[in-house]
Structure 1
């Protein structure tokens, strides 16, 4: 994608060209005249050296226009991702929309579809196996916060679990300042060398700004560490309209633009050309219920608008969608998942986090993840568009079959039905009623539950013995670095093995 240009592809566009340009100008105005806080000394040093106006007492940084636009230009429009085995996986930002499960859920909805409890390592292990098995879930993610993991360990126990149960790239992150170098040790153990970690990126690090207009010491250090260790970054603004961001949607989009551009500048002055994704997790504050939904229509509208800004800057775009604020897998869950997922894809998002997520992504349902996979399959079928050539137009076939004819017996049908129609379905019901009744009238949750139970019995893409030994050793080292004893580390490894 070109920089400071309008994407002319067929996409959902909620802002006009003049509104995009105005949003950019207003963002530069705010960055230059108000600035944004960076609560990390090294970030202040780097930004000051790059030409920013830094107030050490308030930790506020003001950005000259020329520097912001220079950094936008230096950030790449695409970057390559690799799998756990070092094989090329995809080009991120290539125009396709990819999906991964929701992130950081503290609770899980059990398979009965009603019981909610704290999440544990067994849940993450199973969810990662299921995500690996599903054809339309492209990445795995730190989707569950395991209650066994000590607070000092940050997200490293999550990476430890995910890398053992999937070869797909990981959408992860850290909850602690030292999270990046610690995760780098785990990645090195599995990938075999630091060079492999740097040259064949296997994870994208989500890093969240503290809205409004502040990068914490954790976020700022994570940005710097990722840039220095060649780990691609997904910058996320998770403002809440009416609480941590303006109540107006346009104001939220402006706040989002300012926050993400400030983080992008820090990444680029640390290492010019470092890959950065333009991400977000928009919420609104419902003044009636005092709740903060992520899947209200307004959230999708904000996503569509900031996607246009990301495309204007020539960057890959990320959002949270294809999930629901519902508490069970019901009509609300289905309608919100479908609407937000479709709008995110039509807005040209490169990556959508959220499938399986419920209740402002505080909860994960593994069964819903399976159901969402089926819906995402229909989105990807739509994304392919309509094949248009002499074969698919079938003009000669129409002449051959003629009025009142039948196409079921034609070779043309046999050759093309799998190319034209989507058959990658696990849970949806496309039978006539009698056939469905004969099978016992299974519900969509029944089918999802059966699929998960089958995957639970399987061993899926385990690490080699040498990789596992190296990972265990690195994990013990990471725990020690976090101030945890070797006994604690070994107990966590044991809990993983027993899960």
Structure 2
């Protein structure tokens, strides 16, 4: 069987879900969007002052019947070899989005991220096998701020054939991202058959969402572009300080978004996620790598899994400023528990998801390989029990030269590419590099390689033209 990790019993999951339904019916969600309010009222919701909507249980249940379940959702890659399905549990990394700073790979100085940085990071992520979903790890800061998302979509589409997740600022951004993606695959019909992009929809805790995010959610639902629904509640500030209270509130906010989506277009795909997180009460800073963050990722994964939805959770967004021992501890602690519960894990950012360091992509890719091994099924069968091999070896023998060992060791034993396992002498002979230096060497080699063009010059120009027209 596969390993499992749980912080909630089935009874507790049921109680939290019932509590979330009460939140929606008795407190409601602020949903400031004229069309959304009309749809909700027509379906039986109560609209109160300031666009607050009280959603009855039957509306939630109806939405949960039509939202696609795990087996029916695919995150398509532009290249089908990168398709991601959810019939089983095979965790992989996803590129978190919207960091504003990078650590320069050559000077090691922190600076604002550029569009060239985004292109390079996207190309690196495209080549790393344990990254399943690409995206705008950084938001270019030298481009017009109101059109960050447009530039991000254009640059990522040019530099990867994997599925891409990005920011969606309103319905216009959704339509333009779809247009750009359609150019990349040779037409809108082909894109609609295999929509290989998805967009973030972030709630505004407590109990609300902004107009632009609602607008984007509704437009993605019309296109059946997967929406990554997240509530980023903060313990003790925008949600109760207790884990249980925050889980219930966060779950309620996600359910409200599912209701809206399914009213717009029943069958529109949703990915369940949550940035519910802790806060350091001494400094007032948000923590993306505290123990509570890991607990919340597992608990929220359980809530989403109880609805039979695909699960995406942030996991490797370390509070550490650089790739050091703290970053390693935070990666192992939150990454491992989340990897045993979620399907996709947002990652590869430091400083509370504000900074990207190029070698960190290579480091996280390596860590994910180890986490995937830990999350793999332990097979018990005639081959793995190895009784005949044991008889052949007998007391005092050795298994190293046995055919069974040769046939099975590559599958059973994880062989890292970066982590140091040699003896001291060999390591010292190579210059005594620490893990950062090893990752840095590999990423610099990747950066200095000639970029591979994935689209024709004509397609790139057409994508750029969509970005220019959006600003006119």
Asked if TM exceeds 0.5, the reply is yes
Return the alpha-carbon distance in structure 1 between the equivalents of residues 464 and 133 of structure 2.
Answer: 22
Name the SS of the counterpart of 1:184 in structure 2.
Answer: helix
Counterpart pick for 2:28 among 35, 41, 51: 35
Structure 1 residue 93: deviation in Å?
5.8
For the Cα contact (< 8 Å) 2:122–2:136, is it kept in 1? no
Return the alpha-carbon distance in structure 2 between the equivalents of residues 61 and 136 of structure 1.
Answer: 41
Answering whether residue 459 of structure 2 is matched by residue 470 of structure 1, we say: yes
Name the SS of the counterpart of 2:132 in structure 1.
Answer: coil
Task: Name whichever of 225-234 and 19-28 sits farther off.
Answer: 19-28
Answering whether residue 385 of structure 2 is matched by residue 393 of structure 1, we say: yes
Q: Which consecutive unaligned segments of at least 5 residues does structure 1 have?
A: 1-7, 484-499
Return the alpha-carbon distance in structure 2 between the equivalents of residues 146 and 176 of structure 1.
Answer: 19
Name the SS of the counterpart of 2:287 in structure 1.
Answer: coil
Partner of residue 172, structure 1: 166
Name the SS of the counterpart of 2:396 in structure 1.
Answer: coil
Partner of residue 363, structure 1: 355
Partner of residue 449, structure 1: 440
Return the alpha-carbon distance in structure 2 between the equivalents of residues 426 and 259 of structure 1.
Answer: 41
For the Cα contact (< 8 Å) 2:192–2:223, is it kept in 1? yes
Q: Which consecutive unaligned segments of at least 5 residues does structure 2 have?
A: none
Name the SS of the counterpart of 1:375 in structure 2.
Answer: helix
For the Cα contact (< 8 Å) 1:99–1:352, is it kept in 2? yes
Task: Name whichever of 261-270 and 277-286 sits farther off.
Answer: 277-286
Answering whether residue 55 of structure 2 is matched by residue 46 of structure 1, we say: no
For the Cα contact (< 8 Å) 1:239–1:283, is it kept in 2? yes
Name the SS of the counterpart of 1:30 in structure 2.
Answer: helix
TM-score (ref. length: structure 1): 0.90
Partner of residue 67, structure 1: 59
TM-score (ref. length: structure 2): 0.95
Return the alpha-carbon distance in structure 2 between the equivalents of residues 94 and 250 of structure 1.
Answer: 27
Answering whether residue 117 of structure 2 is matched by residue 108 of structure 1, we say: no
Name the SS of the counterpart of 1:214 in structure 2.
Answer: coil
Counterpart pick for 2:449 among 444, 450, 458: 458
Return the alpha-carbon distance in structure 1 between the equivalents of residues 365 and 295 of structure 2.
Answer: 23
Counterpart pick for 2:408 among 416, 428, 434: 416
Task: Name whichever of 404-413 and 157-166 sits farther off.
Answer: 404-413
Return the alpha-carbon distance in structure 1 between the equivalents of residues 344 and 98 of structure 2.
Answer: 17
Return the alpha-carbon distance in structure 1 between the equivalents of residues 198 and 86 of structure 2.
Answer: 10
For the Cα contact (< 8 Å) 2:131–2:365, is it kept in 1? yes
Counterpart pick for 2:76 among 75, 78, 82: 82
Structure 1 residue 311: deviation in Å?
1.3
Name the SS of the counterpart of 2:83 in structure 1.
Answer: strand
Return the alpha-carbon distance in structure 1 between the equivalents of residues 314 and 81 of structure 2.
Answer: 27
Structure 1 residue 463: deviation in Å?
2.1
Q: After the TM superposition, which segments of 4 or more aligned residues of structure 1 sit over 4 Å from their partners?
A: none
Change (3 A) 1:474 1:217: same
Counterpart pick for 1:434 among 425, 428, 431: 425
Quote the RMSD (CA, aligned, Å).
Answer: 1.8
Partner of residue 380, structure 1: 372
How many residues align structurally? 470
Structure 1 residue 101: deviation in Å?
2.5
For the Cα contact (< 8 Å) 2:122–2:156, is it kept in 1? yes
Structure 1 residue 218: deviation in Å?
0.9
Task: Name whichever of 120-129 and 454-463 sits farther off.
Answer: 454-463
Structure 1 residue 113: deviation in Å?
9.1
Return the alpha-carbon distance in structure 2 between the equivalents of residues 171 and 481 of structure 1.
Answer: 20
Return the alpha-carbon distance in structure 1 between the equivalents of residues 346 and 129 of structure 2.
Answer: 16
Partner of residue 5, structure 1: none
Matches within 5 A, 1:47-196: 47-55=40-48, 57-78=49-70, 79-86=73-80, 89-92=83-86, 94-111=88-105, 115-196=109-190
Return the alpha-carbon distance in structure 2 between the equivalents of residues 154 and 121 of structure 1.
Answer: 10
For the Cα contact (< 8 Å) 2:315–2:338, is it kept in 1? yes
